[in-house]
Amino acid sequence: MQRMTGTLYLVATPIGNLSDITERACRTLAEVDLIACEDTRHTGALLKHFGIKTRLISYHEHNERERAAELGQSLVQGMSIALVSDAGTPCINDPGFRLVNIARECGARVVPVPGATAFVAALIASGLPTDQFFFGGFLPARTAGRRARLAELKMMPATLIFYETPHRIADALRDAHEILGEREAVVARELTKLHEEIVRAPLSELAEKFAAAEQAVRGEIVLVIDRTSLNEQAAGQDSEMDIAARIHTLEQEGFEPRAALKKVAREMGLTRAEAYRRLTAARSRNRS
């Protein structure tokens, strides 16, 4: 009798606070045949904390190609395997992409077991727009590459999110300010841990703060940057108020609201939808 192909579980683990692990994650880690992890010592400590005794095997950037093929054979033989990273969700800036593709090619089930992700936690706590965002992983380590990458993303209409290292955060903030202009930004450090810090300020202020830090910056860092400069935001608000004032004038002259909006959109070279969005923003700002 032919054995059924196995299952690959992509299991998110806490990014700091162990209480953030889910019941489903614990159950999955306890029930699979094997857990593939970046650092067996790190994951071993996590499993010991929760009384889980599943066998571990290393899976990291230096052995990924060979180990992925090996684990693929195990899946073909019907084994169930959990993939975890040292912290957070596997495959997000961590090894795993190759193994997931091998699993799919061999017909194994691929099951996500969701949980903590550092960049999502930083984004929702930042207060910056969340409707559209771009996660860029780590910025290049060298100045020229970092500045070129930021220049590529300057016009992207989305909140920008990056991971950064403690020893590069000051330089990254300086380059972001020089390339992107003065934008509101957030540095989120040590999320969910004892010394969690979430600092929001214009890029220039953050660059100055971290460059002048008396003690070495520590911990995992997420950098979140607004999609537009503060000057552009001010100009946008002026435009919103201009539209509201013009529509009010036309309505006083006898125009119906829809006709007034259509006329103002045509006068300002905007779509009706964009004119309505700006009008709504202006009225909301007036109410607040």
Q: Please provide the DSSP assignment of 173-201 as one string.
A: HHHHHHHH-S-EEEEEESTTSTT-EEEEE
Does 60 score more than 70 pLDDT?
yes
The pLDDT of residue 99? 97
CA 204, CA 194: separation in Å to the nearest integer?
A: 27
* Mean pLDDT over each residue of the chain, to the nearest integer: 91
- Return the ∠ at Cα 277 (arms to 263 and 257), rounded to 5°: 40
Domain 7-116: CATH class, spelled out:
alpha beta
Do 128 and 224 meet the contact criterion of CB atoms below 8 Å apart? yes
For residue 255, the cross-strand partners are none
Amino acid in the structure at residue 1: M
pLDDT, position 247: 86
**Residue 166: closest CA among 221, 241, 94, 103:** 221
> 45: which residues sit within 8 A by CB, 6+ positions away?
none
Q: What are phi and psi of 161, to 5 degrees?
A: -135, 135
Torsion of CA 22, 28, 29, 31, to 10 degrees: 140
CA–CA separation, 222 and 22 (whole Å) = 23
C-beta separation of 195 from 219 below 8 A: yes
| 38 within 8 A of 59, measured Cβ to Cβ | yes
For the chain, domain boundaries: 7-116, 119-228, 231-287
Q: Residue 268's pLDDT is what? A: 76
Strand partners, 83: 10, 36
Mean pLDDT for the stretch of residues 67-81 = 96
SS3 content of the chain, % helix, strand, coil (to 5): 45, 20, 35
Instruction: Flag the least confident range among 42-51, 77-86, 152-161, 226-235.
Output: 226-235
Q: What are phi and psi of 196, to 5 degrees?
A: -55, 135
Q: pLDDT tens across 165-182, in order?
A: 999 999 999 999 999 999
- State the Cα–Cα distance between residues 226 and 185, nearest whole angstrom: 6
Could you tell me how far CA 247 lies from the centroid of its own chain? 39
Does residue 1 register a pLDDT over 50?
A: no
CATH 3.30.950.10 fits 119-228, yes or no: yes
* Entry pTM: 0.79
Q: Residue 245: pLDDT above 60? A: yes
Q: What's the sign of the alpha-carbon dihedral 149, 99, 84, 158?
A: positive
Mean pLDDT calculated for residue range 136-162: 95
